[in-house]
Amino acid sequence: MHGRGWWHRRFTNHGIRMTQSREAIIDVLNGADGHLTAAEIYLKAHELNPAVGLTTVYRTLDILTEMGVVYKFEFGEGKARFELTGESTDRDHHHHLVCMKCKRIIDYSDMLGEERAFIEKIQAKLAERYDFEIRDHFLRFNGICGQCRNGSNNINFKED
């Protein structure tokens, strides 16, 4: 969606350097379809460039989260998951359904129009009422997926 120069400028404009490790990490995020743990990102980035270390993955993800370029999610697995925000991909903003049994994560953006209208309205009210500058929001539904419901699912997608 954006050329390499884009990221480079985006970083250096803020006094932050664009390094090879960071580039590898961003490439991984761009190539994946979301919801990656730091360890998973490390694995792929390290494959792209063996010089990349896990520590740097954590540090880079912090920066990107701070920049608003990635979302950091906690789905109750004891580790965080990351995915690019809409800003830097062609994916729509979306929300999640999380299966409490198998931990499967379903993205949905069906209700997007409706949701956005609703969220924006409520957001404006909250901002004023609580003197709060809202940066982003997370909406998540927990439940049991179809496969888990009818027992046809013994495997836990996220090894639990």
Partner DNA sequence: TTGATAATGAAAATCATTTTCAATAAATAG
Partner DNA sequence: CTATTTATTGAAAATGATTTTCATTATCAA
Separation of alpha carbons 99 and 94, rounded Å:
17
Q: Which of residues 112-141 bind a copy of itself (CB under 8 A)?
A: 114-115, 118, 122-123, 125-127, 129-141
Least Å distance, CB 32 to Mn ion, is 11
Question: Phi first, then psi: what are they for 106, rounded to 5°?
Answer: -110, 125
Q: Cα–Cα distances in Å, from 49 out to 19, 32, 64, 91, 115?
A: 12, 16, 19, 26, 40
- Provide the residue count of the chain: 160
Strand partners, 70: 84
Separation of alpha carbons 145 and 68, rounded Å:
30
Q: Which of residues 93-132 bind Zn ion (CB under 5 A)?
A: 99, 101-102, 104
Residue in this structure with the two tokens 């690019």, named with its chain if needed: 84
Show the binding pattern over residues 96-135: x = contacts DNA (CB under 7 A), - = does not: ----------------------------------------
Separation of alpha carbons 55 and 1, rounded Å:
27
Least Å distance, CB 2 to DNA, is 16
Show the binding pattern over residues 7-46: x = contacts DNA (CB under 7 A), - = does not: -x--xx--xxxxxxxx--------------xxx-------
Residues near a copy of itself (CB under 8 A) are: 72, 74, 76, 97, 99-100, 106, 108, 110-111, 114-115, 118, 122-123, 125-127, 129-146, 149
